[in-house]
């Protein structure tokens, strides 16, 4: 570059040589983007449009401009979509993506140039020499070697992929929480409806018993027993209502405060899900957590390469100019650090230890996922079989028994105690069936978490095609 402190005729004389020197060094060290991304090193993955956007400051989640229509039966997928759209986790994920993209850009930029300006005053020791005020300046640019720069970019890109995989894990956990809350609300609502019906029937039986007592067909003990049953049923009804209201409040926190009081979820306690162990095992290979750990291993390997490349000293080029009363001095400088005492061995060892830990964590997570898959599959199969047996075998028998007891009670062939015992038996069967369906639905969610899809849609929507596992990077 031209010397700022030389007279005009000297600046034109040294400009061409300085520009040629700096350009040659820049091309050799890979400071241009075109040469830094050559075929010798894989190019980093291009960030998505959301990742390129600048990071926004942390703010309160935006208020919903228009309330959604939650009338009629809704699906769990719609609740999950509402939670993902308005939950603060979305803002955190966007901030993480923007930060990771900024790190990739930062890894490829040059170091800032250093500008130094000097002004002095001479003190002559020889008689007859006048005082002088020399001044000058220098400009230095540090250039990173091509391999070290590309290793740094690769490490930053690997961390960007890791951030994206961790974002998918966060969304997966949010989806599972919403599904569990929806299942709990549906089970509590069903229990509240059943308790409402039992309270109504108990009240009718108490009124019927009171009429029989007035007609001399029942004693006081029977009337008291009927009133006790009606009071107990009313207490159970109120408890079930409060439970349903609690789970609805949780859903409103997750999804939308405008959810109606009588929200109906169509598929919370749905039908049986086909459980194919082979398909589930193949789907588990694509779990976001396993992908995140694989990206962590890749980032650790890239960090080791970057630390090893940093042992090569950077090159510093510069230009300088000094002006005195009788002469001007200008030129170029070339310097680099001599790796005599510090060869970055500690940082390399720490990076290699991080790589070993990442690989061990990936192996441990794979074992844990296999264990969780086996446990969730067994729990789902047990709950589904129990629900099927109760619905097809136990519930019809209980309904038939209560129907016979009611007919006998109306004609006086059965006592109130016989009728109440029959109703307790049927309520127990209904409660067991509801609990089995709830446990089955929750087990499916746990199974989906082990697979990486709480809805289990991806596990059964595509054919069972084997995909190779992600290989672990080789030791270097």
326's CB contacts (< 8 A; 6+ apart) are 132
Burial class (CB in 10 A: 0-12, 13-18, 19+), 425: middle
274 or 246: which leads in pLDDT: 246
pLDDT tens digits, 71-97: 888 888 899 888 888 777 777 778 888
User: Across the chain, which distance is largest between two alpha carbons, in Å?
Assistant: 144
Highest mean pLDDT among 277-286, 338-347, 382-391: 382-391
Assigned fold of 8-58+76-118+132-461: Outer membrane efflux proteins (OEP) (1.20.1600)
DSSP 40: T
Q: Rounded CA gap, 404 and 421, in Å?
A: 12
Residue 307 has which token pair?
């630390």
Whole-prediction pTM value? 0.63
189's CB contacts (< 8 A; 6+ apart) are 244
Q: Rounded CA gap, 168 and 294, in Å?
A: 14
Q: Rounded CA gap, 173 and 295, in Å?
A: 19
Q: Rounded CA gap, 300 and 307, in Å?
A: 11
Region 251-257: mean pLDDT is 89
Q: What are the Cα distances from residue 179, in Å, to 255, 299, 437?
A: 11, 33, 14
Radius of gyration of the chain (CA): 38
Closest CA to 250 of 191, 170, 184, 169: 184
- Strand pairing category for 135-143 and 114-119: antiparallel
pLDDT tens digits, 340-380: 888 888 888 998 998 899 889 888 988 888 888 888 888 88
Find out whether 173 and 80 touch, Cβ atoms under 8 Å.
no
Residues belonging to the chain:
476
């Amino acid at each position: 570059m031209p010397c700022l402190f030389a007279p005009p005729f000297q600046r034109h004389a040294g400009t061409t040589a300085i520009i040629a020197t700096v350009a040659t060094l820049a091309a050799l060290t890979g400071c241009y983007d075109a040469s830094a991304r050559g075929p010798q090193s894989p190019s980093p993955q291009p960030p998505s449009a959301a990742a390129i956007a600048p990071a926004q400051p942390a703010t309160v989640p935006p208020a919903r401009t228009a309330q959604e229509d939650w009338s009629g039966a809704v699906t769990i997928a719609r609740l999950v979509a509402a939670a993902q759209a308005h939950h603060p986790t979305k803002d955190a994920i966007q901030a993480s993506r923007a930060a990771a993209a900024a790190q990739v850009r930062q890894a490829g930029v040059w170091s800032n140039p250093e500008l130094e300006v000097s002004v002095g005053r001479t003190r002559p020791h020889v008689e007859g020499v006048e005082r002088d005020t020399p001044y000058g300046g220098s400009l230095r640019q540090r250039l990173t070697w091509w391999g070290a720069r590309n290793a740094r970019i690769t490490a930053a890109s690997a961390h960007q992929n890791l951030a994206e995989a961790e974002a998918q894990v966060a969304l997966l956990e949010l989806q599972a929480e919403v599904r569990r809350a929806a299942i709990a609300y549906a089970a509590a609502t069903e229990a509240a409806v059943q308790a409402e019906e039992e309270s109504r029937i108990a009240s009718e039986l108490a009124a019927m018993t009171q009429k029989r007592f007035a007609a001399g067909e029942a004693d006081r003990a029977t009337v008291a027993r009927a009133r006790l049953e009606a009071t107990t049923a009313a207490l159970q009804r109120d408890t079930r209502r409060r439970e349903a209201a609690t789970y609805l409040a949780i859903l409103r926190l997750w999804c939308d405060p405008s959810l109606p009081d009588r929200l109906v979820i169509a598929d919370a306690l749905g039908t049986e899900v086909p459980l194919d162990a082979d398909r589930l095992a193949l789907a588990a290979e694509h779990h976001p957590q396993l992908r995140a750990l694989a990206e962590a291993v890749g980032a650790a390997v890239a960090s080791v390469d970057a630390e090893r490349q940093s042992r090569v000293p950077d090159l510093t080029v510069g230009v300088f100019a000094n002006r005195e009363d009788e002469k001007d001095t200008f030129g170029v400088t070339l310097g680099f650090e001599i790796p005599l005492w510090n060869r970055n061995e500690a940082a390399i060892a720490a990076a290699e230890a991080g790589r070993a830990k990442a690989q061990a964590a990936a192996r441990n997570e794979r074992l844990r996922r296999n264990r969780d898959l086996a446990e969730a599959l067994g729990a789902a199969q047990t709950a589904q079989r129990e629900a099927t047996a109760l619905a097809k075998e136990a519930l019809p028998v209980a309904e038939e028994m209560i129907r016979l007891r009611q007919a006998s009670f109306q004609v006086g062939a059965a006592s109130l105690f016989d009728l109440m015992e029959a109703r307790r038996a049927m309520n127990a069967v209904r409660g067991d069936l509801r609990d089995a369906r709830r446990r089955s639905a929750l087990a499916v969610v746990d199974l989906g978490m082990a697979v990486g899809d709480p809805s289990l849609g991806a596990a059964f929507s595509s054919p069972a095609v084997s995909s190779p596992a992600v290989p672990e990077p080789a030791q270097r």
